[in-house]
Structure 1
Amino acid sequence: MSEEMNEIEVNNYEAGDRVTGTVTKVEEKQVIIDVKNSKTDGILPISELSSLHVEKASDVVNEGDELELEVLKVEEEALILSKRKVDALNAWDELERKFESQEVFESEVKDVVKGGLVVDLGVRGFVPASLVEDYFVEDFSDYKGRTLSFKIVELDKEKNRIILSHRAVVQDEKGQKKQELLDSIQQDQVLEGTVQRLTDFGAFVDIGGIDGLVHISQLSHEHVEKPSDVVKEGDKVQVKVLSVDRDNERISLSIKETLPGPWQQVSEKAQPGSVLEGTVKRLVSYGAFVEVLPGVEGLVHISQISHKHIGTPHEVLQEGQQVQVKVLDVNENDQRLSLSIKDLQEKEFEEITDYDLPEESKGFQLGEMIGDKLKNLGK
């Protein structure tokens, strides 16, 4: 009785049952399996070996391999089995774990299709074109066969749907690199960067994974009308870190601070006694500041503006006016330049006073001197 019951049990497999079997023979289009606790052999068709296309069964299994299989169909002569379905079920368990933990994993791109990439994960995974990179890709043909890192961004077992993203991994890596850079960067540090984009108020420079702003006032020692007058996108530039706001991820940079100062070697360019042309930049009560070199202003003291007595510089000068000046004194270290406008002007006729007369004529009246001259002329 027990022997009859055992015979019924071992032959009572149904479609969907899990069985364990050993490969006894590998044929071209199928594999013969010795199924545990079954009096009949199992047949594993080549189409059920893998979720991928298989040219020959020997590429996947060998004689003696022990396999976990699923019964697809029960026939009188044999059990029709599937390895592909078991692999897929096992894969789903692993994929669900990776999805929940947002684990990053690598896989090979098996095919390029319309709208994206196909990846074999034991089941079919799809990477939409928009989730391949964090930039636009026109042609994906060279992605086939490449191994990329992915995250699962959508998983639906019932619909057999798995959406992967390589872009998410790239963005996470950039974010981590950005944070590391923010933590390491220091004020006054000098770095090399690349101009990424220009705005009306300055230039954004990539300094290795994070952009910093070079305000328009920090582009040059000279006055800048618009950033494109000084730099263009793609330029390699040296920048100095002015400040780092780690909370708001903002970095202020300066190109100007890395350039030679306008006062450097100014004593050679503006030697005492030399005559320069400049622009009146500012008028103050005690004189006028005149820019004679880019970023270099000198003071024309009120006493050096005109031979005439003036109450304020505004009487004879205005801002923006072009003037010629003579260099009186240069102090490069203190960034001081003394200039004169008066020294380049001819002295106008002034009323002759007693101290203007020759020594021998002092004590005589001017009228007497002129009278004597006239008498001499009449002789």
Structure 2
Amino acid sequence: MFESENGTGEEKALSPMWEFLGEEFDYRRPKWGDILDAEVVRIDKDAIIVDVGGKTEGVVPSQDLEMLDEEVRASIEVGDRVSVYVLRPESPDGDLIVSVNMARTLEDWQEAERYLEEGKIYEGTITGHNKGGLIVPFGQIRGFVPASQLVNLGGRQSPESRMERLAQMEGEKLQLKVIEVNQHRRRLIFSQRAAMRHLREEQKEKLLEELQEGDIRTGKVSNLCDFGAFVDLGGADGLIHISELSWQRVKHPREVLKTGDEVEVYVLRVDREKKRIGLSLRRLQPDPWTLADEKFYVGQIVKGTITNVVNFGVFARIDEGIEGLIHISELSDEPFDDPREIVHEGDLLPLKILSIDTARQRIALSLKQAPTLEELEGREALAEMVQVEETAPEEAPLPEMEKIAGEVEEVTPEEV
């Protein structure tokens, strides 16, 4: 009885013929456009011979090698594994013609697609420029950064100035983000602006995790607006509300800060959900109210500068960071319709302290119960005169007078 035509499993395992047939059956002739993993088996003067598997060798022609960077060409050695792109499955001479350059280029396009999909940051070196922007290679691909996607190029510039600035940037490294990949049109577009936004968002997330209320940080003033100042803490901006700029009344942040100032700030609040940071400048300054009870007392006459006039009264600054309220009823005994008929912002007036509440940071003042400015200045002048008289030393006799006085004492009445 004959064995099955296909043979037994034991025969297949032992027969070299079955192994050979298996390899032949598994082998597929390479087609145009395939990317194969190959091993360098020989390096000739005008070509590189590679083994692509299936006992098939491919030829990398010299023209393809010339398209590679000099460093890449010099680094290829026998035994290295390289990716090759099938240009011609069979030449007239029966050779399999492959390209290292094309394989690397296609792999670079695939890598660029991954960068685009994953939003990864690419660090590239500027190798050239034109009037539209900068040239940045991505492997074998020539990438482009439009001028509009650069961060520090500047706004209104003449074409000559822009070209000069672009030329100066050659050789610099940039953090970039892929914003367009079109292999068919050979377009690879980068953006520095998008990369900076991405990196800043990452830094902000990290900073929000690290920051704690009560921290003291150093930052740079990035912007001023009517309601406060924004400070860059190195990845995220925090806001110093206008009320936290100083213990004194501030009408606009520009009275205290300017853009670019380096400041030390106190972290008031960290809202990780809304990604907001509240800062304070005045919390790092001495609170003038802590010494108010020692410096002032009820009934004291002080000088105050009018800082704000409202319908119900007037606010006056009597010391750095300390303001009191003159209620409308304490402005004058004479009838009036508007507090502005009595005082104006900037006026320096004598005021009487009616009450002090340091816990609530409130001082009640009176204008009508205080002496006039002339009277106060007269009192102060008189007080200075009295103080001078009290502290003046007794007048010592001149040496000549002392001598004469001594001579008079020595003369007796009999001698006279």
TM-score range with shorter-chain normalisation? 0.5 to 0.7
Question: Deviation at 1:16?
Answer: 5.6
Structure 2 counterpart of 1:144, one-letter code: G
- Kept in 2: contact 1:34–1:42 (CA 8 A): yes
- Give 1:109's match in structure 2, choosing from 125, 150, 155: 125
Residue 101 (structure 2) aligned to one of 70, 77, 84: 84
- Quote the offset at 1:13 in angstroms: 8.4
Q: Deviations over 1:287-319 (max 9, x none)?
A: 9986422333468999xxxxxxxx965315944
TM-score (normalizing by structure 2): 0.58
Q: 1:174 aligns with which of 176, 195, 200?
A: 200
- What is the aligned partner in structure 2 of residue 305 from structure 1? none
Compared with structure 1, are the counterparts of its residues 230 and 66 closer, same or farther at alpha carbon in structure 2 (3 Å cutoff)?
A: closer
C-alpha deviation, 1:329, in angstroms = 9.7
- Corresponding residue for 1:126? 144
Deviation track 1:73-109 (CA, whole Å, cap 9, x = no partner) reads 8244866542212333344444444433x15265543
CA apart distance, 1:331: 8.7
Partner of 1:341: 370
Deviation sequence 1:129-152 (CA, Å, 0-9, x none) = 4445x4437446455374x55543
AA at the equivalent of 1:99: L
2:128 aligned with 1:99:
no
- Matched letter for residue 139 of structure 2: L
SS in 2 for 1:74: coil
Q: Which residue is 1:45 aligned to?
A: 61
Amino acid at match of 1:85: M
After superposition, the Cα gap between the structure-2 partners of 1:189 and 1:55, relative to the gap in structure 1 and judged at 3 Å, is closer
Aligned counterpart, 2:24: none
Q: Counterparts of 1:207 and 1:166 in 2: how far apart (Å)? A: 21
Q: Is the 8 Å Cα contact of residues 248 and 322 (structure 2) preserved in structure 1?
A: no
1:180 to partner: Cα distance: 3.3
Report the counterpart of residue 225 of structure 1 in structure 2. 251
1:243-291 CA deviation, whole Å, 9 max, x = no partner?
4444443333332333222335456765899864224678999x99864
Structure 2: how far apart are the matches of 1:174 and 1:216?
Answer: 25
3-state SS of paired residue (1:179): helix
Offset of 1:159 from its aligned partner?
2.0
- Contact 2:39–2:79 (8 Å) recurs in 1: no
CA deviations over 1:158-211 (Å, ceiling 9, x no partner): 223222345433322211221333344444544333211222333222233222
SS at match of 1:225: coil
Paired residue secondary structure (2:185): coil
Q: Which SS does the other structure have where 2:127 is aligned? A: strand
Change (3 A) 1:107 1:83: farther
Closer, same or farther: CA 247–272 of 1 in aligned 2, 3 Å = closer
Is residue 250 of structure 1 aligned with residue 276 of structure 2?
yes
Distance 1:80 1:225 in 2: 78
Counterpart for residue 288 of structure 2: 262
* Shift in CA distance, 338/143, structure 1 to aligned 2, threshold 3 Å: same
More helix by share: 2
* Cα separation, partners in 2 of 1:202 and 1:149, compared to 1, 3 Å: closer
Cα distance in 2 for residues equivalent to 1:95 and 1:197: 36
The Cα of 1:48 is off from its aligned counterpart by 0.7
Shift of 1:156: 1.9
2:143, 2:169 → 1: CA distance?
18
SS of corresponding position for 1:214? strand
Given candidates 70, 88, 92, the residue that maps to 2:86 is 70
Task: Give 1:235 deviation, angstroms.
Answer: 1.4
* Cα distance change on mapping 1:264 and 1:121 into 2, 3 Å: same
The residue type paired with residue 315 of structure 1 is D
Of 112, 136, 142 in structure 1, the residue corresponding to residue 153 of structure 2 is 136
SS in 2 for 1:49: helix
- Amino acid corresponding to residue 341 of structure 1 in structure 2: A
State the SS of the aligned residue for 1:263.
helix
What whole-Å deviation, never above 9, does each CA across 1:206-243 have from its counterpart, x for those lacking one? 23322233233332222223322221111122333444
Name the Cα RMSD after superposition. Answer: 4.7
Q: Is the 8 A contact 1:278 1:324 kept in 2?
A: yes
Amino acid at match of 2:224: L
2:310 and 2:76 mapped to 1: Cα distance? 93
Counterpart contact for 1:109–1:120, Cα < 8 Å = no
What is the alpha-carbon distance in structure 1 between the residues aligned to residue 314 and residue 53 of structure 2? Answer: 105
Amino acid at match of 1:112: G
Distance 1:180 1:30 in 2: 52
The 5-angstrom pairing of residues 179-258 of structure 1 reads: 179-258=205-284
Unmatched tracts of structure 2, length 5 or more: 1-28, 155-164, 379-416
Q: Is contact 1:15–1:74 with CA below 8 Å preserved after alignment?
A: no
